[in-house]
């Protein structure tokens, strides 16, 4: 283990968070592959919080929803990169919660629904070398001790190299940028007083209380 | 007084824009005018350019230009009251919010976010930084844009539906405003298509002038 590895503080270096929606197959159903492009949105970097902070529901919203995701951190600038070399551009990973107001994308602007402050809680940075196989990682989330999400990155529809390649065709990805790769099923609501815990295999564990702004 | 050259492209970590903030522009696209709250969306900072070409992604053929006043945040804040909002402003830029209109319509139809249509590389050309002190009245600035010398947009910030202090206040309720953040305040009517070979010029009163050629990427 390299003790000299610099501590990566994503909140300081990240300038771009891109989220991918609808990116998990239902493991119980046969997945019909489609040509569909990824569902892409963004979260402002002010949405990032680390442990010690609470998830803050904007005043009056009552409830928000949770999603648990593998986040990919870019290490090397990427533009027009092909899938076969895409992983060279990865610095490491984080476990992330993609909090949202609701799934009412037709009713509210997506920036508001997905980007409000504290809507992107993340774990400590996980160096790339710590993960042998990124396609076999368990993602779990519980609310007040009750399991809500229990999925695996093997069920990603668009895999990481494809996502990096596709995104880099339109957006220059830079050092520190974060890609949230989607959530397995299990979305539910949380309210003031709830506590969310999540894990990525035995690589990361996070716990965030939820409060509503008064 | 020390003059500091602010490079917005270097300090900016967040771009928040508002859609349909000029009545005539909302009407020209057949969109309802927002009544209660501004309609916000984001552009990634990777979209900012200060020189060079506006690049249409290969195959998209055409983009729409949208000339806007950009507000640059100096003092961070959250839950900012409208009466204090202008204290958080350190200056302005003239901006083009380039938009892939047909991609945007397609995405809307699919129920997908607009992010791709609004956020691709080079979709946020900006002028040099304009210090706050250079602007007497932010709600009386002329915004003009020509394509190949022909005037397409010619509006004034007095026609903004949600004025700058209200925009900053609303945005800061949900998103903490940080030093260097760029807020795009909407475009007047006259948006039109530009394609490979066109040249866009725009001005903000006599405070800023920009010129960007448009090319389509060969991929």
Q: Is the pLDDT of residue B4 over 80?
A: no
A170/A202 Cα distance (integer angstroms):
34
Q: Is the pLDDT of residue A137 over 70?
A: yes
B145/B163 Cα distance (integer angstroms):
21
Q: Is the pLDDT of residue A134 over 50?
A: yes
A151/A26 Cα distance (integer angstroms):
10
Angle A108-A149-A25 (CA atoms, 0-180°, nearest 5)?
A: 80
A112/B42 Cα distance (integer angstroms):
10
The model's confidence at residue A5, banded by pLDDT at 50, 70 and 90, is: low
| Mean pLDDT in residue range B180-206 | 97
| Mean pLDDT in residue range A10-26 | 95
Residue of A80, A66, A44, A53 whose CA lies nearest to A177: A44
**Which residues numbered 93-122 in A keep a CB inside 8 Å of some CB on B?**
105-106, 109-112, 115-117
Q: Which residues contact B121 (CB under 8 A, 6 or more apart)?
A: A79, A170, A171, A172, B46, B47, B55
Q: Tell me which chain A residue has its CA closest to the CA of residue B44.
A: A16
For the stretch A89-126, pLDDT in tens is 999 999 999 999 999 988 899 999 999 999 999 999 99
Q: What is the pLDDT of residue A99?
A: 98
The model's confidence at residue B1, banded by pLDDT at 50, 70 and 90, is: very low
For the stretch B21-54, pLDDT in tens is 998 888 888 888 888 899 999 999 999 999 999 9
**B176–chain A nearest CA distance, Å:** 6
Q: What is the pLDDT of residue B25?
A: 83
CA B113 to mean position of chain CA atoms:
18
Residue of B127, B55, B59, B130 whose CA lies nearest to B98: B55
Helix (H) / strand (E) containing B9: helix B8-11
A71/A95 Cα distance (integer angstroms):
6
Across the A:B interface, residue pairs with CB atoms under 8 Å apart total 77
Q: A171 and chain B: CB distance < 8 Å anywhere?
A: yes
Inter-chain touch B121–A117, beta carbons under 8 Å: no
Kindly state the DSSP code that residue A140 receives in the 8-state scheme. Answer: E
- In contact, A18 and A39? CB cutoff 8 Å: no
Residue B183: φ, ψ to 5°:
-110, 120
Q: What is the DSSP string of B13-39?
A: --EEEEES-BHHHHHHTT-PPP-SS-E
Q: Is the pLDDT of residue A3 over 80?
A: no
Residue A128 burial (CB < 10 Å; 0-12/13-18/19+)? Answer: middle
Q: A183 and chain B: CB distance < 8 Å anywhere?
A: no
Q: Is the pLDDT of residue A32 over 90?
A: no
The upper half-sphere exposure of residue A201, i.e. CA atoms within 13 Å in the direction of its Cβ, equals: 16
Complex-level ipTM: 0.94
Torsion sign (Cα): B146, B152, B157, B163: negative
Residue B22: φ, ψ to 5°:
-130, 125
A195/A186 Cα distance (integer angstroms):
16
Q: Is the pLDDT of residue B109 over 60?
A: yes
A68/A186 Cα distance (integer angstroms):
9
Token pair, residue A129, equals 């070398």
**A153–chain B nearest CA distance, Å:** 23
Inter-chain touch B14–A58, beta carbons under 8 Å: no
- In contact, B212 and B53? CB cutoff 8 Å: yes
**B6–chain A nearest CA distance, Å:** 18
For the stretch B123-170, pLDDT in tens is 999 999 999 999 999 999 999 999 999 999 999 999 999 999 999 999
Q: Which residue has the higher pLDDT, B62 or B5?
A: B62
Average pLDDT, chain B: 95
- Between strands B199-204 and A17-21, the pairing is unpaired
Q: B13 and chain A: CB distance < 8 Å anywhere?
A: yes
């Amino acid at each position: 283990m390299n003790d000299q590895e610099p501590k990566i503080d994503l909140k300081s270096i990240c300038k771009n968070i891109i989220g991918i929606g609808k990116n998990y197959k239902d493991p119980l159903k046969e997945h019909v592959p489609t040509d569909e492009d990824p569902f892409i949105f963004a979260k402002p970097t002010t949405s990032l919080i680390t442990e010690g902070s609470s998830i803050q529901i904007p005043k009056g919203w009552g409830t928000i929803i949770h999603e648990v995701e593998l986040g990919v951190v870019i290490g090397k600038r990427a533009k027009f990169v092909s899938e076969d070399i895409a992983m060279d551009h990865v610095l490491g990973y984080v476990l992330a919660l993609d909090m949202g107001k609701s799934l009412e994308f037709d009713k509210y602007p997506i920036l508001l629904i997905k980007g409000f402050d504290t809507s992107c809680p993340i774990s400590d940075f996980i160096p790339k070398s710590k993960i042998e196989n990124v396609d076999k990682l368990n993602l779990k989330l519980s609310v007040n001790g009750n399991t809500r999400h229990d999925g695996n990155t093997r069920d990603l529809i668009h895999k990481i190299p494809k996502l990096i390649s596709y995104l880099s065709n339109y957006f220059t990805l830079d050092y520190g940028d974060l890609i949230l790769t989607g959530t397995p099923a299990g979305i539910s609501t949380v309210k003031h007083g709830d506590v969310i815990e999540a894990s990525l295999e035995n690589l990361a564990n996070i716990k965030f209380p939820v409060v509503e702004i008064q | 007084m020390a003059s500091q050259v602010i490079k917005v492209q270097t300090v900016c970590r967040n771009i928040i824009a508002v859609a349909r903030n000029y009545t005539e522009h909302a009407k020209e696209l057949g969109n309802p005018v927002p009544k209660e709250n501004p309609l916000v969306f984001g552009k990634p900072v990777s979209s900012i350019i200060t020189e060079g070409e506006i690049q249409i992604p290969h195959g998209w053929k055409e983009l729409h230009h949208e000339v806007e006043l950009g507000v640059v945040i100096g003092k961070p804040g959250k839950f900012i009251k409208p009466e204090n909002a202008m204290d958080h402003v350190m200056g302005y830029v003239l901006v083009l919010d380039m938009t892939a209109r047909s991609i945007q319509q397609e995405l809307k139809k699919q129920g997908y976010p607009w992010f791709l249509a609004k956020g691709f590389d080079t979709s946020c050309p900006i002028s040099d930084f304009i210090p706050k002190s250079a602007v007497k009245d932010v709600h009386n600035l002329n915004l003009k844009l020509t394509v190949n010398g022909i005037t397409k947009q010619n509006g004034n910030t007095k026609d903004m539906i949600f004025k700058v202090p209200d925009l900053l206040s609303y945005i800061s309720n949900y998103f903490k405003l940080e030093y260097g953040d760029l807020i795009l305040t909407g475009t007047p009517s006259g948006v039109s298509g530009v394609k490979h070979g066109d040249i866009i010029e725009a001005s903000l009163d006599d405070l800023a002038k920009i010129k960007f050629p448009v090319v389509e990427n060969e991929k």
